[in-house]
Amino acid sequence: MTGAGNFFQDRKSKGDCLLFSFPCAILDSNIARQPFSGRDIVLELNKIFKSFGNFPVLKGASLHCKQGYALCLAGSNGAGKTTLLSIAAGICKPDSGTVSLGGSVGFVPQNSFLLEDLTIKENLILWYAACGRRRRDIFQSGSIESRFGLKEFASRRIKALSGGYRKRVEIACALAKSPDYLLMDEPFTALDLDSRNEITALLGEYRQQGKGILFSSHDPAAIAGAADGIALLRDGTVVREETLSDAETRGAQIMELLMDE
């Protein structure tokens, strides 16, 4: 990889996890993953184990996410959600178990990967270049950046953005490569209601295109608006995985599941 791509090769390894400062859709990981031959499943994790030193984090966790389906990974702090998402994204190597992928992946980590002193447009140019996309594609009619309302603030520096607009830029970067599925770690944390609703609506459009979404959250309202199903991770294992019911009863279903954490 040459040019802008060299910038994105700056990464470190720690405990068999690659520490990236950008969405993993941009570069292919060296971690081995198995292709999935099924037609309806785009992402499947099977009996994933992962320890850091002598501390076991994941203890045989398994889940699957369908095409056109948004699955929320729920669980208390320390349950292993971030580690499982990192393994699903291909930036953290499991001790054992398999990750089967049906296409490409974009990842939005909980900690921001954006370059604070650059503008929205400058950040997007970097991600587009690393993905082999043309800079003139940015802000075209119908593009994710335009639908996210970023064109109006293209010259604003990242450090001057609200949490909601910062999250929109992060998601736009992760979608620059048009991945088959999008993984997000606590994407709705600290967002105001308007930002949460707008991001939920845009993720709904993405899902309707037949893409898969896997995200972690502990916010019942965010889960109710954005998820089709929920997988409950407890003590390193997925103990329940359910499809959410219709709008009238899903709130109570989510609360019952979260109380089971």
Q: Where are the domains of the chain?
A: 39-104+179-260, 114-177
- Check residue 14 and give its pLDDT: 45
Q: Spell out the residues 6+ positions from residue 182 whose beta carbon is closer than 8 angstroms to its own.
A: 105, 106, 107, 108, 171, 174, 175, 203, 206, 211, 212, 213, 214, 215
Residue (of 174, 178, 172, 173) closest to 198 by Cα position: 172
Q: Is 45 exposed, middle or buried (0-12, 13-18, 19+ CB in 10 A)?
A: buried
CATH 3.40.50.300 correct for 39-104+179-260? yes
Minimum mean pLDDT range among 36-45, 47-56, 99-108, 124-133: 36-45
Q: How is residue 90 annotated by DSSP?
A: T
At 139, which amino acid appears?
Answer: F
Give tens-digit pLDDT for 24-52.
444 444 444 555 555 555 789 999 999 99
Mean pLDDT of 247-253: 73
Distance, CA of 33 to CA of 45 (rounded, Å): 10
